[in-house]
Amino acid sequence: MSAAVQETVATEWASAAAASVVARCDTLAALTETPGRITRVYLSPEHARANDTVRAWMQDAGLDTWQDAAGNLHGRVSGPTPDAPVLLLGSHLDTVVDAGRYDGVVGVLMAVEVVARLARDHGALPFALEVVAFSDEEGTRFGKALLGSSAVAGVWDDAWWDLCDADGTTLRAAFTAFGLDPERVHDAAVDPARLVGYLEAHIEQGPYLEQADQALGLVTSIASARRFTVQAVGEARHAGGTPYERRHDALLAAAEAALAVERICRAEQHIGTVGTMAVEPGAVNVVPGLATFAVDLRGEFDEGRDRVWDAIVAAFHEIGERRGVVVTPTEVHRAPAVFCAPRLMDAVRAGIVATGEPAPLELFSRAGHDAMSLGLVTDVAMLFLRNPDGISHHPDEFVAAPDVALGLDALTAAVERLARDHVPAGDGGDA
Ligand code: HGY
Ligand code: MN
Ligand code: MN
């Protein structure tokens, strides 16, 4: 993939740091459960190895490190006093199945570089800087996304312990096997009163920065999301002897339902995807009796998302009635739209402009991010990096090192701006 045409030139530090970030993304790409593909899920041996690898890099950079009670990795540079407020930066180290190598990872590694530079070159900032490498943003293993950042945000729900992975292992069992204590998970929660806010750099996972010929973008809000597992229960029958009028074909009902998701979402300018489908009994000469599929639904606002979901459920009901198949959705994940904080957006926008880039494209993130969890308890903002052709959740996912370099300069300048404008809590500030 050719690097994007770059007008603005990053600093020498940023160019060197970007080369290291990209090389380290390659190193982490090798920590996978499936050689030749990148798959690294929550509470897996690969999760542990990724934490070990990034912990060493954090320590080399002079950060104090620890793993929290939910398996997230933290690296911190202290503030002027032990009770100084904390600015969080970071992203996630887990991946989808057969993932790209930059989703989440590049944001974690950029945060480490920026924090190390500011600690080295800046002396005491008015707040501590803490990088969080979240352990489960995707929800690949247990279906529920944002588990790691939910724990840090203090919104972990103990009802999740019975979630199961594809092998039937519960979240509780996997947690314990990883060496974590389920009874202590709530210890991972930060005190929102001590937070200055949360900044996350991430690839766009969409085509709009490339279309605008811009290296960096500013996120306005993050998609409102809901995820469902849907069961279509029909009747397994002989593929030869069963006339069509006597069939209750679960696969065909599910197929119609998947097309209904696309039709309704396109008509309503929302985003719905059926990403998995399993059929039973799964024999060439048996009419399928059971189909199980997943729906990922997103929108800019919660109200619109929920209205679209109601229309989808009505379509499922009509299909089921007509085919004599019972179609039952079960919600497994819900995250409200999160709106970035103007105060932090101003800092990120100023950071981008300080690199010499024009005022950035401001866009709504169709992808979910850990900032959705943190946005429940503190101010958040996100810096997007140009992601050629918007390819993501795919091995061809790419980000050009010069764009990473500009992102490093912009993120550094954004933190410097927050430091300059920081008003201590006692003087009317908010952290
Ligand atoms: O699914 C998403 O939007 C994110 O990549 N987890
Ligand atoms: Mn992702
Ligand atoms: Mn991501």
Per DSSP, the residues of 27-43 read HHHT--SSTTS----TT
Cβ within 8 Å of residue 413, ≥6 positions away = 350, 351, 352, 354, 355
Tell me the best of 91, 222, 305, 369 to mutate to test the pocket of ligand 1, counting ligand atoms within 8 Å of each CB and taking the most: 369
Q: How far apart are CA 370 and CA 144, in angstroms?
A: 13
**Chain centroid, CA 44 distance in Å:** 18
Alpha helices, H only, 123-182: 147-152, 171-177
- The tokens for 202 are 């991430």
Q: Can you say how many angstroms the Cα of residue 282 is from the centroid of all Cα atoms in its chain?
A: 33
Cα-Cα-Cα-Cα torsion 424, 64, 42, 152, nearest 10 degrees, comes to: -20
- Structural domain that includes position 105: 3-223+337-421
User: Is the confidence at residue 84, as pLDDT, over 80?
Assistant: yes
**b/e burial code for range 20-30 (CB count within 10 A of at least 16 → b):** ebbebbeebbe
Residue in the block written with tokens 């770059």: 6
Q: Does 279 share its domain with 348?
A: no
pLDDT score recorded for residue 223: 93
CA of 138, closest atom in ligand 1: 6
Residue 349 phi, psi dihedral angles, 5° rounding: -60, -45
> Mutate which of 41, 135, 136, 205 to test ligand 1's pocket (most atoms within 8 Å of Cβ)?
205
- Report which ligand 1 atom has the smallest distance to the Cα of 103: 5
Task: Say if residue 425's pLDDT is above 90.
Answer: no
Residue 1 is predicted with a pLDDT of 40
Rounded CA gap, 150 and 372, in Å?
9
Ligand nearest to the CA of 227: 1
Is residue 426 in a domain?
Answer: no
Do both 310 and 348 map to the same domain? Answer: no
Q: Tell me: the pLDDT tens digits for 130-167?
A: 999 999 999 999 999 999 999 999 999 999 999 999 99
Mean pLDDT of 5-12: 77
Q: Is the pLDDT of residue 105 over 60?
A: yes
Do 200 and 254 lie in one domain? The reply is no
Please indicate, yes or no, whether residues 238 and 279 belong to a single structural domain of this protein: yes
428 lies in some domain: no
For the chain, percent of residues with pLDDT exceeding 70: 97
Q: Torsions phi, psi of 50, nearest 5? A: -65, -40
Structure tokens belonging to residue 276: 């998995």
Give the model's pLDDT for residue 430.
Answer: 54
CATH classification at residue 279: 3.30.70.360
- State percent of the chain over pLDDT 90: 94
256-297 pLDDT, tens digit per residue, is 999 999 999 999 999 999 999 999 999 999 999 999 999 999
Residues 275 and 201 in one domain: no
Q: Ligand 1: which of 98, 103, 138, 203 to mutate, most ligand atoms within 8 Å of CB? A: 138
Enumerate residues lining ligand 1, CB below 6 A. 137-138, 145, 367-368
Token output for 185? 């998970």
Ligand nearest to the CA of 91: 3
- Protein residue closest via CA to atom 6 of ligand 1: 138
| Amino acid in position 113 | E
- Judge if 154 and 231 occupy the same domain: no
Region 96-117: mean pLDDT is 98
Same domain assignment for residues 16 and 114: yes
Q: Of 320, 335, 350, which residue sits at a domain end?
A: 335
Residue 4 has pLDDT above 70, yes or no: no
pLDDT tens string 213-229: 999 999 999 999 999 99
State whether 39 and 123 are in the same domain. yes
Nearest C-alpha to atom 3 of ligand 1 is from which residue? Answer: 367
> How many A from CA of 321 to the centre of ligand 1?
33
C-alpha 284/C-alpha 30 separation (Å) is 37
| Mean pLDDT, rounded, for 305-327 | 98
Same domain, 196 and 274: no
Q: Give the burial class of 178: count Cβ atoms within 10 A of its Cβ; 0-12 exposed, 13-18 middle, 19 or more buried.
A: middle
Task: Determine the distance from the C-alpha atom of residue 48 to the mean position of all C-alpha atoms in its chain, rounded to a whole number.
Answer: 19
Q: How far apart are CA 167 and CA 62, in angstroms?
A: 40
Identify the domain boundary among 316, 335, 354.
Answer: 335
DSSP secondary structure code for residue 354 in this structure: H
User: Does residue 115 lie within any of the structural domains?
Assistant: yes
Query: Of 335, 363, 398, which closes a domain?
Result: 335
Residue 427 has a pLDDT of: 63
Has residue 84 been placed in a domain? Answer: yes
What is the CATH number for 39?
3.40.630.10
Three-state secondary-structure class, residue 224: strand
Strand partners, 370: none
Q: How far is the centre of ligand 3, averaged over its atoms, from the C-alpha of 107 (Å)?
A: 9
Closest by Cα among 274, 314, 280 to 296: 274
* Within-domain flag for 292: yes
Closest-lying ligand 1 atom to the alpha carbon of residue 139? 6
DSSP strand pairing (128-134 vs 326-335): unpaired
Element (H, E) at 93: none
Determine, yes or no, domain membership for 430: no
pLDDT computed for residue 2 by the predictor? 45
Total number of domains constituting the chain: 2
Q: For residues 362 and 216, is the Cβ–Cβ distance under 8 A?
A: no
- Are both 55 and 104 inside the same structural domain? yes
Domain assignment present for 427: no
- CA-nearest residue, atom 4 of ligand 1: 368
Do 80 and 204 have their domain in common? yes
Query: Do 103 and 203 lie in a common domain?
Result: yes
Q: Which two tokens stand for residue 182?
A: 């389920």
Q: Is the peptide bond before 281 cis (omega within 30 degrees of 0)?
A: yes
What is the average pLDDT value for the chain, to the nearest integer? 95
Helix (H) or strand (E) holding 338: strand 338-339
In a domain, 129, yes or no: yes
